[in-house]
């Protein structure tokens, strides 16, 4: 124990020295200190990671826990090395790339595109995701439809980014193309300025745009700026051993389906975007939600559910209309069938309180039937799917997944299998037969999207919690 404390103290002193020297070292210098070897990293027990604070990389959630797609990825990698990751926040991409090229960290992760210019100063690990650079404007604002149109566009981008590198390449064919590069604003701040009409357009990765359209639904993608980019970790030029370790680890991580599950968790609900629907939802949060908020909160509490998830599910079912009905005979806020409602003690399906509490109880019952075999968040997504399509059809999808070598416990795999239940060659081989299997997939995606928007609307100070970084402890 005494030796471990001593090692930790030495590491903290080294990190502190790096941070101080980083402010004084001349730009363009190759390294501040010799790059740490893999053995050095494992001996210290810590992996020093340079990153940025945003929702597609690293942030602290409302429970004050570190999270984010790349945070989880790095944490899993560090675990395979037998060490803990230590995250150091950098204010801009340019600052981060300069710091990793000078050896201030063991690796850098911030949705970094692999570019020829960057390859001159850093090593890149294996690509783990593809994104497209998108020109984003506001509805009713500027309307460029091709690169030539950007010549007359008020275009503001992040300085030192892959966007600027792409535009610089395009400028050779379009000499009149100009833009303003800023190093003082992050991706979300730029998108907010586009939304507020303060700037005309910007360029941003497709993942960042998809997430922020929930908060700023008037943002519109005009076109993609060329081919897709590959994202990867960046390492100092001397980090070859660590890079080789990362290559082997990523190969196994992908083969085990873990990368697909991670991307499903963070991005599985953002592919579906309907501007009119989101606008209507945001309006009804103000007009309808307050009437039923206390009921959602109490029903969720009694059944150990998320109150915002329950409210989002109710909106998907009925748009918070207690009198809603469908041609199939389901009715009420939670759109219950009469047999289901009766079994849950409901006397009037059109009574909002009875419907909400019964719906919550039914959802919790489905979850309890599945909880011995599933882990979160797959448990929640599959319970929602069962609420929509029925537990029997979900079981059929799991059976088909096993036959096809897929994971029956993974929502990422099951959502690809469910649509097969509408095809005779598949539904004729399972117990419960035909089902419109694409519906539960859309159902779950919509609820996840609604919950995200609802959380941001109700708690703007902590729903977009990536503004609160946790630095080195």
Cis check for the bond before 166: say yes or no (omega within 30 of 0). no
Separation between Cα atoms, residue 285 and residue 306, nearest integer Å? 17
Structure token pair of residue 327:
């041609």
Q: Could you confirm whether 317 is annotated as catalytic? A: yes
CB 99 within 8 A of CB 50: yes
Structure token pair of residue 387:
């609420």
CB 60 within 8 A of CB 21: no
Q: Which among 387, 428, 394, 423 has a CA at the least distance from the CA of 411?
A: 394
Structure token pair of residue 389:
């399509």
CB 71 within 8 A of CB 233: no
Identify the bridge partners of residue 156 per DSSP, sorted by sequence position.
Answer: 180
Separation between Cα atoms, residue 351 and residue 276, nearest integer Å? 28
Q: How many residues does the chain have?
A: 473
Structure token pair of residue 290:
């307050």
The 8-class DSSP code of residue 336 comes to: B
Within the chain, how many helices (H) and strands (E) appear? 21, 14
Integer Rg of the chain from CA: 25
The 8-class DSSP code of residue 215 comes to: T
Structure token pair of residue 383:
């319970």
Catalytic residue among 317, 373, 439, 473: 317
CB 318 within 8 A of CB 333: yes
Question: Residues with catalytic annotation?
Answer: 317
């Amino acid at each position: 124990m005494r030796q471990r404390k001593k090692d930790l103290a030495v590491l903290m002193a080294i990190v502190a020295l790096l941070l101080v020297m980083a402010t004084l070292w001349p730009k363009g210098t190759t390294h501040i200190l010799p790059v740490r070897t893999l053995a050095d990293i494992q001996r210290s027990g810590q992996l020093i990671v340079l990153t940025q604070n945003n929702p597609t990389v690293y942030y602290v959630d409302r429970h004050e826990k570190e999270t984010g797609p790349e945070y989880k990825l790095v944490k899993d990698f560090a675990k395979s090395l037998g060490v803990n990751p230590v995250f150091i926040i950098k204010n801009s991409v340019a600052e981060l790339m300069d710091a990793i090229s000078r050896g201030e960290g063991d690796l850098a992760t911030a949705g970094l595109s692999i570019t020829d210019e960057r390859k001159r100063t850093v090593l890149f690990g294996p690509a783990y995701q593809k994104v497209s650079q998108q020109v984003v404007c506001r509805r009713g604002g500027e309307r460029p439809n091709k690169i030539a149109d950007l010549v007359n566009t008020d275009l503001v981008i992040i300085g030192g980014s892959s966007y600027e590198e792409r535009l610089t390449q395009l400028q050779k064919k379009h000499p009149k193309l100009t833009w303003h590069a800023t190093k003082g604003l992050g991706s979300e701040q730029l998108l907010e300025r586009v939304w507020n009409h303060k700037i005309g357009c910007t360029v941003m990765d497709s993942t960042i745009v998809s997430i922020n359209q929930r908060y700023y639904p008037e943002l519109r993608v005009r076109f993609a700026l060329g081919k897709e980019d590959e994202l990867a970790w960046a390492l100092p030029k001397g980090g070859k051993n660590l890079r080789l370790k990362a290559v082997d680890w990523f190969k196994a991580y992908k083969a085990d389906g873990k990368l697909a599950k991670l991307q499903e968790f963070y991005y599985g609900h953002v592919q579906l975007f309907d501007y009119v629907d989101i606008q209507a939802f945001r309006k009804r949060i103000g007009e309808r939600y307050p009437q039923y908020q206390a009921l959602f909160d109490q029903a969720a509490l009694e059944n150990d559910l998320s109150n915002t998830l329950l409210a989002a599910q109710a909106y998907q079912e009925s748009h918070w209309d207690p009198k809603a009905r469908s041609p199939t005979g389901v009715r009420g806020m939670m759109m219950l069938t009469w047999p289901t409602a009766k079994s849950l003690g409901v006397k009037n399906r059109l009574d909002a309180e009875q419907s909400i509490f019964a719906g919550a109880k039914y959802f919790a019952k489905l979850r309890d039937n599945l909880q011995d075999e599933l882990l979160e968040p797959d448990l929640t997504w599959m319970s929602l799917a069962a609420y929509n399509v029925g537990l029997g059809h979900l079981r059929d999808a799991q059976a088909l997944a096993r036959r096809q070598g897929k994971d029956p416990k993974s929502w990422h795999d099951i959502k690809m299998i469910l649509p097969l239940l509408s095809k005779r060659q598949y539904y004729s081989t399972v117990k419960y037969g035909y089902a419109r299997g694409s519906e539960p997939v859309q159902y779950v995606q919509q609820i996840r999207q609604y919950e995200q928007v609802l959380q941001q609307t109700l708690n703007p100070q902590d729903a977009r919690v990536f503004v609160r970084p946790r630095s080195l402890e």
